[in-house]
Amino acid sequence: MPVPEEQRIYAGWLDVASRAGLAILAVAFLAYAFGVVGAHVPVEELPTLWTLPLEDYLARTGAPTGWDWIGMLPNGEYLSLIGVVMLGMATLVCYVRLVLALLKNGERLQAGIAAAQVVVLFLAALGFLAGGH
Amino acid sequence: MKKISIGAVLALVFGCLSFAEPALAADGAGGVAWYWWPLGLFLVSFALGVLAVLGGIGGGVLFVPLVSGFFPFHLDFVRGAGLLLALSGSLSAAPQLLRSGLASLRLALPLALVGSITSIVGALIGFALPTDVVQTALGFTILAIALIMWMGPKDDRPRVGAQDALSSALRLHGVYDDPARGGRVEWRVHRTPAALFAFAGIGVLAGMFGLGAGWANVPVLNLLMGAPLKLSVGTSGLLLSVIDTSAAWIYLHRGAVLPMLVAPTVIGVMLGAKIGARLLRAASASAVRRAAIALLVVAGVRSALKGLGIWT
């Protein structure tokens, strides 16, 4: 098959990371929805809250922004966010691996673009680009 | 078989929406027990997942206008869920597309970088603007997308003359196996600077409205850059996984990712996509596509009227 090596490596890493993220999201959500774990905002109150604009929702519930949700574990809604974060991390991790593969092949221009993408994703993941808080 | 399948899917979508609409009209929550909402969301997402595969479109472009128009959830949370719907779908599909050579990582790299930066800008714009403005703009954007899909110009064998300097420098060319064409297909692209500019706009729309942007990626890759249609569709899926990731981080950090909306949506659309893939042989792609366009028109009109305060 005429598939470049770095592309096969990227596919393998992405496969594992995305499957793990989706599995964690599904399991954590079921635990949350069926009351196996507690919740910061009781699920019975959600229908009166999810109609609100984001800022009002945050003010009413005291829900965290940025990475502060980690301090709210093991509440069910934040356990579910672990799966979401893994989905967000999948591409970042794969790009880091991609940069190494491209450099190994001597493809500096492509590696530079991939490295710039890593910086963008990393800054976004850290929350530096989110604004508003 | 195909009529039953498409009819059942549409009946499921409209059944859930007709349940949601009067309940929403009552008092926002409608006095309905909380678990009916994620269950309804799951069913709609399941049906959209089937439609998305059968119609060859992204689920996000249907999800955001339909759910924001007919469910009580605020648009901020629907956009976050729509983005994660598109992201999870593209992440699931991308590995196989890459291994088969139907997606090109090399082609995606520069376009994804531009699109991901502007998707962050789009997400920030979406949070800065008043909800009714975003809702109205979403409605008209969806109607424009429906028009683009209806016209649907595609070129299975685009002709590319000389590559531009940028695509030559980035070595944006390659080969993939296509049994339908009886062998290997060599490809190369041109007009890369114009495509980068187009992806800047696509990123803004994806981030601002929480839409997957396959409807825009494919025409730019295929018609503007001259990539073969199959490669354009495959690479579009890969591009979505990068562009939507960037915007998804903004939604997550701003607190706009509600697991009670996101998880049923993601699980529903993934299961629906699996069923859709099984129905693919029996269904008429053009009939499903027309059904999807009809849904887009309904959702676009509803969204625009809701944003304008005419039909709240």
In chain A, what are the domain boundaries? 5-128
Q: Residue B217: inside a domain, yes or no?
A: yes
Which of A29, A37, A49, A54 would you mutate first to test chain B, the one with the most B CBs within 10 A?
A54
pLDDT for B177 equals 83
- Give the model's confidence band at A127: pLDDT under 50 very low, under 70 low, under 90 confident, else very high: confident
Compute the residue count for chain A: 133
- Give the model's confidence band at B97: pLDDT under 50 very low, under 70 low, under 90 confident, else very high: confident
Tokens 């825009």 correspond to: B216
Rounded to an integer, what distance in angstroms lies between the CA atom of residue B26 and that of residue A82?
Answer: 35
- B125 or B276: which leads in pLDDT: B125
Most confident region among A61-65, B18-22, B179-183 by mean pLDDT: A61-65
pLDDT for B133 equals 93
Q: Percent of chain A scored above 90 by pLDDT? A: 50
Q: What is the pLDDT of residues A4-49, one digit of tens each?
A: 888 888 888 888 888 888 899 999 999 998 989 989 999 888 999 9
Q: Which of A83-87, A110-114, B6-10, B70-74 is least confident?
A: B6-10
- pLDDT over 70 (residue B169): yes
Compute the residue count for chain B: 312
Q: Which of A11-25, B151-165, B227-241 is least confident?
A: B151-165
Q: Percent of chain B scored above 70 by pLDDT? A: 83
- Give the model's confidence band at A124: pLDDT under 50 very low, under 70 low, under 90 confident, else very high: very high
Give the pLDDT mean for B190-199: 94
pLDDT for B107 equals 94
Q: What is the pLDDT of residues B110-132, one digit of tens each?
A: 999 999 999 999 999 999 999 99
Nearest CA in chain B to A132: B254
- B21 or B203: which leads in pLDDT: B203
Nearest CA in chain A to B27: A48
- pLDDT over 60 (residue B28): no
pLDDT for B283 equals 63
CB spacing of A29 vs B264 below 8 angstroms? yes
Residues 100-129 of A with CB under 8 A from B: 107, 109-110, 113-114, 116-117, 120-121, 124-125, 127, 129
- Residue B56 CA, distance from chain mean position: 10
Residues 11-50 of A with CB under 8 A from B: 11-12, 14-15, 17-18, 21-22, 25-26, 28-29, 32-33, 43-44, 46-48, 50
Supply the DSSP symbol for B73. Answer: S
- Pick from B77, B95, B109: which is nearest to A110 by CB? B109
- Pick from A63, A88, A110: which is nearest to B249 by CB? A88
Q: Which of B24-28, B44-48, B75-79 is least confident?
A: B24-28
Q: Residue B1: inside a domain, yes or no?
A: no
Give the pLDDT mean for B48-70: 77
List Cα–Cα distances, B211 to A80, A93, A121, B61, in angstroms: 22, 24, 19, 5
**Residues in Cβ contact with B82 at an 8 Å cutoff, skipping those fewer than 6 apart:** B60, B63, B64, B67, B209, B210, B211, B212, B265
Angle between the N-to-C axes of helices B75-100 and A54-61, in degrees from 0 to 180, rounded to the nearest 10: 110
- Give the model's confidence band at B282: pLDDT under 50 very low, under 70 low, under 90 confident, else very high: low
Rounded to an integer, what distance in angstroms lies between the CA atom of residue B168 and that of residue B188?
Answer: 9
Instruction: Say if residues B253 and A123 touch (Cβ distance below 8 Å).
Output: no
Rounded to an integer, what distance in angstroms lies between the CA atom of residue B235 and that of residue B237?
Answer: 5
CB spacing of A14 vs B94 below 8 angstroms? yes
DSSP code string of A56-79: HHHHHH----TTGGGGGTTSHHHH
Q: A-B interface: how many C-beta pairs under 8 angstroms?
A: 214
Q: Residue B82: inside a domain, yes or no?
A: yes
A-chain residues near B84 (CB < 8 A): 84, 87
pLDDT for B293 equals 82
Token digits of residue B206: 């994806």
- Give the model's confidence band at B243: pLDDT under 50 very low, under 70 low, under 90 confident, else very high: very high
A-chain residues near B99 (CB < 8 A): 1, 3, 7-8, 11
Nearest CA in chain A to B176: A2
H helical segments located in B157-284: 165-169, 192-209, 214-219, 229-254, 259-279
- CA-based nearest distance B3→chain A, Å: 32
pLDDT for B6 equals 60
Give the pLDDT mean for B247-275: 89
- B215 or B171: which leads in pLDDT: B171
Closest CA to B260 of B7, B71, B61: B71
Q: What is the pLDDT of residues B283-311, one digit of tens each?
A: 666 776 777 788 888 888 888 888 888 87
Q: Is the ipTM of this complex over 0.90?
A: yes
**Neighbouring C-alpha atoms within 13 Å toward the C-beta of B303:** 32
- pLDDT over 60 (residue B4): no
- pLDDT over 60 (residue B34): yes
Q: Which of B102-111, B178-187, B219-228, B261-270 is least confident?
A: B178-187
The total number of structural domains in chain B stands at 1
- pLDDT over 90 (residue A1): no
Rounded to an integer, what distance in angstroms lies between the CA atom of residue A132 and that of residue A58?
Answer: 12
Which stretches of B179-295 are assigned E, i.e. beta strand?
183-188
Rounded to an integer, what distance in angstroms lies between the CA atom of residue B133 and that of residue B114?
Answer: 25
Instruction: Say if residues B110 and B288 touch (Cβ distance below 8 Å).
Output: no
Q: Residue B49: inside a domain, yes or no?
A: yes
Give the pLDDT mean for B84-88: 87
Rounded to an integer, what distance in angstroms lies between the CA atom of residue A19 and that of residue B91?
Answer: 9
Closest CA to A127 of A64, A39, A38, A74: A64
- Residue B99 CA, distance from chain mean position: 22
pLDDT for B308 equals 86
A-chain residues near B177 (CB < 8 A): 1-2
pLDDT for B167 equals 92
- B111 or A133: which leads in pLDDT: B111
**Mean of pLDDT over chain B:** 83
Partners of B179 in beta bridges: none
Rounded to an integer, what distance in angstroms lies between the CA atom of residue A10 and that of residue B94?
Answer: 10
Range of the domain at B143: 6-307
- CA-based nearest distance A82→chain B, Å: 10
